[in-house]
Amino acid sequence: MRDVVIEADAASSSAEDEIEFRAPYNDEANDYLRGRGWESRRSDTDRDCYNDYWEWPPTQKHPWRSPSWIQFTGEVFQIWRADHEGFFSTEAFHNEATSVLELATLIDAAETWPLTRAEAQREIAGHRVRHRWAEENNLAQRAFPISEPFATRINLARQQARAGLRAQAEATRTMTALHEQAWLAYACATFASSSEGIQRLQHMSSQPLERG
């Protein structure tokens, strides 16, 4: 936790006008979430941040009206799920975690909203089967839009391998895992755009996330 002091304009204020904000930051959570690809307002953007705040990049575009985001109040982590652009969630439901350890039990479900944990696992399993089949038959994999943060990380791993900064086998494993995560993000957005997905979003918007 760090103290941030914001001083009023010296030309128009006195010592009594000094404003002090004790900004709640959590470095452990910031490292953990950024490591997973969450965008940190204080570390990855130039936007003002009076407390720690993170957004999940795959939900920053269609079909979402507002992204999934997490904020640290100084006491708890509030997890807010993405709102669909087709309707406004009046529930504004969020989960809370009191530690990074507890946050870790909710993060998978937050990243794969609105798919259930079982559906997300099936999507990954199906993607792996298609990948193996394509490799065995020397065919190109099905193309799909790769969202951030996966696109940048895949390109980085590829560039590191080409420059000799990373073993090719290790880079390939990393790119394969990132490609799977990118597929899952695409599957989540595709499902959320379907009539079934919208019905689930409306039905489940006030329900808690599954814990891992």
pLDDT in tens, 92-148: 568 999 999 999 999 999 999 999 999 999 999 999 999 899 888 888 888 899 999
Per-residue pLDDT at 201:
86
Per-residue pLDDT at 16:
42
82-91, 109-118, 168-177, 181-190: range with lowest mean pLDDT: 82-91
Distance CA 35, CA 112 (A): 17
Q: How confident is the model at residue 22 (pLDDT cuts 50, 70, 90)?
A: low
Q: Is the pLDDT of residue 19 over 60?
A: no
What residue type is assigned to position 64 of the chain?
W
Taking a C-beta distance cutoff of 8 angstroms, is the pair 52, 27 a contact? no
Q: Is the pLDDT of residue 177 over 50?
A: yes
- Please state, for a pLDDT cut of 70, what percent of the chain lies above it: 86
Higher-confidence position of 7 and 50: 50
What residue type is assigned to position 50 of the chain?
Y
Q: Quick count: other Cβ atoms within 10 Å of Cβ 56?
A: 26
Distance CA 82, CA 114 (A): 9
What pTM was computed for the model?
0.85
Q: What is the pLDDT of residues 30-78, one digit of tens each?
A: 999 999 999 999 999 888 788 999 999 999 999 999 899 999 999 999 9
Per-residue pLDDT at 145:
95
* SS (HEC) of the chain: CCCEEECCCCCCCCHHHCEEECCCCCHHHHHHHHHHCCEEHHHHCCCCCCCCEEECHHHCCCCEEECCEEEECCCCEEEECCEECCCCCCCCCEEEECCHHHHHCCHHHHHCCCCCHHHHHHHHHHHHHHHHHHHHCCCCCCCCCCCCCHHHHHHHHHHHHHCCCCCHHHHHHHHHHHHHHHHHHHHHHHHHHCHHHHHHHHHHCCCCCCCC
- Please state, for a pLDDT cut of 90, what percent of the chain lies above it: 67
Q: How confident is the model at residue 174 (pLDDT cuts 50, 70, 90)?
A: very high
Per-residue pLDDT at 91:
55
Taking a C-beta distance cutoff of 8 angstroms, is the pair 183, 144 a contact? yes
Distance CA 110, CA 57 (A): 12
Q: Is the pLDDT of residue 182 over 60?
A: yes
**Angle, CA 95 vertex, CA 112 and CA 91 arms, to 5°:** 95
Q: Which two tokens stand for residue 170?
A: 């290790």
Q: Is the pLDDT of residue 17 over 70?
A: no
Distance CA 89, CA 91 (A): 5
Q: Is the pLDDT of residue 18 over 80?
A: no
